[in-house]
Amino acid sequence: MSKSKKRGLGRGLDALLGGADTAVLDAEPEASESSVSTGTAVVADDGQLASDNVPDRKGLKQVAIDQIQRGSYQPRRHFEPEALQELADSLSTQGMVQPVVLRPRAEGYELIAGERRWRAAQLAGMATIPAVVREYSDADAAAVALIENIQREDLNPLEEAAALQRLQAEFGMSHKAVAEAVGRSRTAVTNLLRLLDLHDDVKKMVDERSLDMGHARALLGADLADQYTLAKMVVDRGLSVRATEALVKNYRSGASSRQETKATMTKDPDIQALELRLSDTLGSQVLFKHKPNGGGKLEISYASLDELEGILEHIR
């Protein structure tokens, strides 16, 4: 199977990590995560990083595990126990070559990137692990932690959205600034942040991956109290994103379940496709109200002035 194309790093991240140290984030996440490309470090006969032979460039050193504390900007909430144990077994036999990223604290170090490796190393009983130690501001630490996880492409959408919101809230960043920091489009950032407005039970469905991001975004057009009911209908019926948008629209107008289903099936597919394409482009819900005589209305919804600014940028 071919490997998927990885997202680009955010603007200025190379400077944050110090040039060659971007390998810490760019390395392809193999099953073991225990090694990187040749030349990153010198490995001793027992598979451990040979600290005596490693040049002290860019802060690369061995750090005692008990001196490392969990990062305050880690976006990931879930770590699969089986996957951690598999990684720990690999570390026990091969050692750890790909370093974690730390910043010094008053007592020890704070983990910036590489929490899976750090957790697995504890399971493997390792006393020290290789680390790149650098000074980071809080904003830089948050950006690196988020991007390291985005690069691995296995954060669920709500974890990513919560991390983006934290960048925005704690550091006063606009959607545009957040997008530049993490190497995503402004539209993508806006779409992710809107997921945080979902009903808590719908968020749980997204967390558990029983409802994907496209369907969840479509449900944002419904009243908060109705979203969970509609989400269950979407899953039970196996509706497409376009059908979900039609369902939400008809539910809001007070149609019965029978009418909803009929409307979902009979709405002009070309209009549905155009609504979906424009919604994806603008990062906001777009609805066409088309009349038989060829006229009609185009409605674009926005939830904040920041979203409105993004829409206007696309139109200009």
Q: Could you give the residue numbers annotated as active site?
A: 115
Q: Is the dihedral of CA 69, 73, 77, 79 positive or negative?
A: negative
Q: How far is CA 276 from the centre of its chain?
A: 22
Q: How far apart are CA 57 and CA 201, in angstroms?
A: 49
Q: How many degrees, rounded to 5, is the angle at CA 60 between CA 55 and CA 61?
A: 90
The answer to whether the CB of 87 falls within 8 A of the CB of 117 is yes
- Tell me the Ramachandran region of residue 280: left when phi exceeds 0, alpha when psi lies from -120 to 50, beta otherwise: alpha
Q: Which residues of 237-273 are buried (b: 16+ CB within 10 A; e: fewer)?
A: eebbbbbbbbbbbbbeeeeeeeebbebbeebeeebbe
Q: Which residues contact 81 (CB under 8 A, 6 or more apart)?
A: none
Matching residue, tokens 């539209």: 187
Q: How many degrees, rounded to 5, is the angle at CA 27 between CA 22 and CA 32?
A: 140
